[in-house]
Amino acid sequence: MSNRFLLRDALAEFPPYVPGKPPVSSPGLTPYKLSSNENHLPPLPGVLDALTAAAAVPANYPDPTAAALVADIADRLDVDPAEVVPGAGASEILSALTNITLESGTSVVYPWPSFEMYPILASARGAEKRPVALLPDGRHDFAGLAAAIDDTTRLVLLCSPNNPTGPTIADAELEGFLAEVPDNVIVVLDEAYLEFASEAADGLAARKKHANLVLARTFSKAYGLAGLRVGYGVADVEIATALRQVIAPFSVTAPAQAAARESLARIDEVAVRAKEVAAVRDRFAHDLRELGFDVPDAQGNYVWIALDPEAAVAFEGACAEQAVAVRRLQGGVRVSIGPDEALDRVLKVAAAARP
Ligand SMILES: Cc1ncc(COP(=O)(O)O)c(C=O)c1O
């Protein structure tokens, strides 16, 4: 590390966040980015107008509490507005959760592979990282997660549907696990892709019994607002108050607040679109399995193809030649659901690479 500035030594150990690559252009082929689990559908009707109106006075700060958005979310979920914490994406909520719980000498338990931010945030807080390997079918190993908790553990992260592998957590699994976790340890259920799932644990219901359960949600995926950066946490009032202490004021911009409110008002359309994406995902996953690939239960807006490292490099490269960017991670390749033309090209690559 450089000696020029008094930076933390730990920075050298931070795992890098590798964003999804943009597609490489290829003559005659429309490029597609299926590497960041973005929503490929056009904006919901009304959202662009709401954005324009909210951006009319860029000189003004937004409402720092996002009170109207918080009220809409609380109303929709039937929770107390004091339990809703808005942030610049679920990422900011996850970051704040690590900020209020972790420090040197503490530990955080999470499944792995899962969302890449988890180990990065743990490193940022100087906490011990305790990744627990997923089961072979891409699901959380709850016995392993419970066994990894000790009296240094301040935070447990769960992801349903799990990014990148795809399966959700079931109600019984969540309930059984929460019954084992000390009730002063915060457990986060990251539900970034919940709207695409046909079956998933009901985090809202579980919270009623377990005050240490916090939900992390986002408008980035099913609502298609990733570029605006808006998400929220649902947490016990004491935890929510701590979260507000560490989140930067004004982090959710006025256009983001307005677009999220407009989208919530159109939640039925959001649900229809999420179902459309899920139907395409199911067909795509089925076709890949028919070709002989190992594809776990896919419940998000993406499909995981388990591959050995060499095959994953080859698969990613063959997709790039077709002007399609997919995401290669440890243990395989993740393909976000996109337009049919893009998925057809991936299927062509898969047919040529069948195991
Ligand atoms: C599992 C999971 N959680 C949280 C996020 C963060 O989403 P955002 O910060 O855009 O709300 C992502 C983004 O890809 C994700 O995959």
Average pLDDT over residues 145-163: 98
Q: Is 250 inside a domain boundary?
A: yes
User: What was the pLDDT predicted at 2?
Assistant: 61
User: What was the pLDDT predicted at 187?
Assistant: 98
- Domain end marker among 236, 265, 294: 265
| CATH, residue 196 | 3.40.640.10
- Domain end marker among 265, 298, 327: 265
Same domain, yes or no, for 148 and 275?
A: no
Same domain, yes or no, for 324 and 240?
A: no
Please give the tally of structural domains in the chain. 2
Same domain, yes or no, for 328 and 212?
A: no
Q: Is 12 inside a domain boundary?
A: no
Does the Cβ of 220 fall within 6 Å of ligand 1? Answer: yes
Same domain, yes or no, for 246 and 150?
A: yes
Q: Within 10 A of 351 (CB to CB), how many other CB atoms are there?
A: 13
Q: Is 9 inside a domain boundary?
A: no
Q: Is 330 inside a domain boundary?
A: yes
Residue whose token pair is 């006025």: 254
Same domain, yes or no, for 119 and 182?
A: yes
Same domain, yes or no, for 72 and 54?
A: yes
User: What was the pLDDT predicted at 178?
Assistant: 98
3-state secondary structure string across 30-56: CCEECCCCCCCCCCCCCHHHHHHHHCC
Same domain, yes or no, for 238 and 325?
A: no
Return the sign of the alpha-carbon dihedral for residues 178, 145, 300, 16: positive
pLDDT in tens, 90-144: 999 999 999 999 999 999 999 999 999 999 999 999 999 999 999 999 999 999 9
User: What was the pLDDT predicted at 3?
Assistant: 76
The alpha carbon of 157 and the centre of ligand 1 are apart by a number of angstroms equal to 13
Residue 324: phi and psi, rounded to 5, are -120, 120
Q: For residues 190 and 213, what is the distance between their CA atoms, to the nearest angstrom?
A: 10
- Asked if the model's pLDDT at residue 10 lies above 90, the reply is no
Average pLDDT over residues 246-255: 96
- Asked if the model's pLDDT at residue 80 lies above 80, the reply is yes
Q: What percent of the chain has pLDDT over 90?
A: 92
Q: Is 258 inside a domain boundary?
A: yes
The alpha carbon of 91 and the centre of ligand 1 are apart by a number of angstroms equal to 6
Range of the domain at 332: 19-43+268-352
Q: Which atom of ligand 1 is nearest to the CA of 92?
A: 9
Q: Is 145 inside a domain boundary?
A: yes
The alpha carbon of 232 and the centre of ligand 1 are apart by a number of angstroms equal to 11
- Asked if the model's pLDDT at residue 21 lies above 90, the reply is no
Q: Is 323 inside a domain boundary?
A: yes
pLDDT in tens, 299-330: 999 999 999 999 999 999 999 999 999 999 98
Same domain, yes or no, for 52 and 37?
A: no
Same domain, yes or no, for 244 and 345?
A: no
Confidence of residue 151 (pLDDT cuts 50, 70, 90): very high
Q: CA angle, 252 as apex, 249 and 257 as ends, to 5°?
A: 135
- pTM, rounded to two decimals: 0.96
- Domain end marker among 219, 238, 265: 265
Task: Please state, rounded to an integer, the average pLDDT across all residues of the chain.
Answer: 96
Does the Cβ of 101 fall within 6 Å of ligand 1? Answer: no
Same domain, yes or no, for 251 and 297?
A: no
Q: What is the CA 306 to chain-centroid distance, rounded?
A: 19
The alpha carbon of 193 and the centre of ligand 1 are apart by a number of angstroms equal to 8
Does the Cβ of 91 fall within 6 Å of ligand 1? Answer: yes
Q: Is 209 inside a domain boundary?
A: yes
Average pLDDT over residues 268-297: 98
Does the Cβ of 218 fall within 6 Å of ligand 1? Answer: yes
The residues pairing with 186 across neighbouring beta strands, listed in sequence order, are: 155
- Kindly state the helix (H) or strand (E) to which residue 269 belongs, with its residue range: helix 267-290
- Asked if the model's pLDDT at residue 251 lies above 90, the reply is yes
Same domain, yes or no, for 142 and 256?
A: yes
Same domain, yes or no, for 175 and 101?
A: yes
pLDDT in tens, 197-220: 999 999 999 999 999 999 999 999
